Amino acid sequence: MPDAVRLTLLNPHGDDFVSTPVSFWLVGRRGLSKYGYLLDEPIRRGQRVQVLIDGTLSSLIDQRVFIQLPPWMRAFILRVEIYFWLRHNDLTQKIDVHWTVDTVRDRTALYVFSYKNCVGAFDQRQATISAFNYAIINLSHYFIRTREKADNIAKLRNAILSSDSDLSHNPYFRHFFPHSPRLLVTPFAVGERFAARRPPQQRSAKCAATGSFHNLKEEFPREYYRDFVDFFHTDTYHPVRKLLYGRRAEIADWLECRISPYREMEGKNGFLASLRRLLRFDMVQAEYFSFDIADFYNRHRFALVGEELSGAPAVGFFEAMACGCVMLGTTGNYYDGLGLAPDVHYLTHDGTVESIHAAIVRASKDSQRLTAIAQAGMRHIQEKCTPQAVWDALQRSLVQLSARHEP
């Protein structure tokens, strides 16, 4: 059995999951890179990352338009785009770029972000994805165009779904993936800047609330969000965030709200606002970078970062936990498969303001319990959610998979 498996990433330049795409760079925005460890960890260990650019996706041009361009024009655009993508992300001498699957020697596992790769021109990618023993399909943002993604993934016999928690009990996931392939649970990797730097006695007793929320009635094009809206009959992925934001003034004595609407341009009119919305360049969570969020967490004893109705926890939940906050999580299956237990690693609430407040009041009466929960959460992050730990866990899963294909 091999000690490690070389992972190939499909079209990582097309979004901000692992790096900053050229489209973001051109408008002065940073990528969130919440899966940046997929590049950073192998590079840190002296390995060269394998990247496959299949000619169907650009961060600069909408996929519906890009795929209609002549092949020679797409190839030219991508050569220029990848050149600047490598330079801007300091990757030029650190990765191997493949322009065809034929040059990829190790075809054990292809890592695919479903967000853009399992929609649109999927039929032109299917053969490439199927050329690998396993296609690890990351489900982040699977609530967008869900039916289309589910139908396309069903065409892949080598698909293994990857999510940030165990989605198998989530009703939305089960509705669209009733006969899903194996589900690989991989926790978020928390960056080093998120660490406890203040003792509990120097923190505010208020709860820190962070995150953003969408108004799906104003998203464009609307058909991309119809699956989610029709299933849940709601206009947002994050109902708890929207609730707290709407009542932030009346609960300000016990909760400090840094939740914001996702679109900074929301509510503004005029040609420029419409153009920016059309180009979809206002989709980065600028609020995330506008203040020192690690320091914000460190100034509070409690924290809440609402989950997605489609089943996924928020990366901020783990970042705040790493900072020593006592976390509040909605009851349900959002943290299944991660080794987290309610009342051991975090407090629970039922999604109402009253339940959140009551949980904080009850817990505040027992300082020893609060300390124990905060310490248990920090230990969990240190053991399971560092970039090194997450990469090692992913590698163990890949090694086990590759062993099945050994002669």
337 domain residue, yes or no? yes
Number of domains in the chain: 2
78 domain residue, yes or no? yes
Strand arrangement, sheet containing 95-98: 95-98, 49-52, 7-10, 109-113, 134-138, 159-163, 183-185
Q: Are residues 232 and 221 in the same domain?
A: yes
Pairing of strands 159-163, 300-304: unpaired
Which one has a higher pLDDT value, 276 or 184?
Answer: 184
Q: Which domain holds residue 167?
A: 7-189+387-403
Tens digits of per-residue pLDDT, 23-41? 999 999 889 999 999 999 9
Q: Are residues 178 and 217 in the same domain?
A: no
Q: Are residues 160 and 180 in the same domain?
A: yes
Q: What angle do CA 244, 247, 250 make, to 5 degrees?
A: 125
Q: Are residues 248 and 366 in the same domain?
A: yes
Confidence of residue 361 (pLDDT cuts 50, 70, 90): very high
Q: Are residues 391 and 364 in the same domain?
A: no
Please state the pTM of the whole predicted model.
0.92
Quick one: pLDDT at residue 3? Answer: 75
Q: Are residues 73 and 20 in the same domain?
A: yes
Q: Are residues 204 and 242 in the same domain?
A: yes
Confidence of residue 307 (pLDDT cuts 50, 70, 90): very high
User: Does the pLDDT at position 271 exceed 80?
Assistant: no
- The answer to whether residues 34 and 17 touch, using CB atoms and an 8 Å cutoff, is yes
Confidence of residue 282 (pLDDT cuts 50, 70, 90): very low
Confidence of residue 278 (pLDDT cuts 50, 70, 90): very low
194 domain residue, yes or no? no
| 79-88, 289-298, 366-375: range with lowest mean pLDDT | 289-298
% of residues, the chain, pLDDT over 70: 92
Residue 61 sits in a domain of what CATH number?
3.40.50
Tens digits of per-residue pLDDT, 194-209? 999 999 999 999 999 9
Confidence of residue 289 (pLDDT cuts 50, 70, 90): low
Tens digits of per-residue pLDDT, 393-406? 999 988 887 777 65
CA dihedral 242, 255, 290, 114 (to 10 degrees): -40
Tens digits of per-residue pLDDT, 51-68? 999 999 999 999 999 999
90 domain residue, yes or no? yes
Q: Are residues 256 and 112 in the same domain?
A: no
Mean pLDDT confidence for 334-356: 97
28 domain residue, yes or no? yes
Q: Are residues 283 and 375 in the same domain?
A: yes
Mean pLDDT confidence for 355-370: 97
Q: Are residues 377 and 395 in the same domain?
A: no
Quick one: pLDDT at residue 265? Answer: 40
Instruction: Determine the length of the chain.
Output: 407
321 domain residue, yes or no? yes
Q: Are residues 16 and 119 in the same domain?
A: yes
Q: Are residues 228 and 330 in the same domain?
A: yes
Tens digits of per-residue pLDDT, 221-256? 999 999 999 999 999 999 999 999 999 999 999 999
Q: What angle do CA 172, 156, 53 make, to 5 degrees?
A: 105
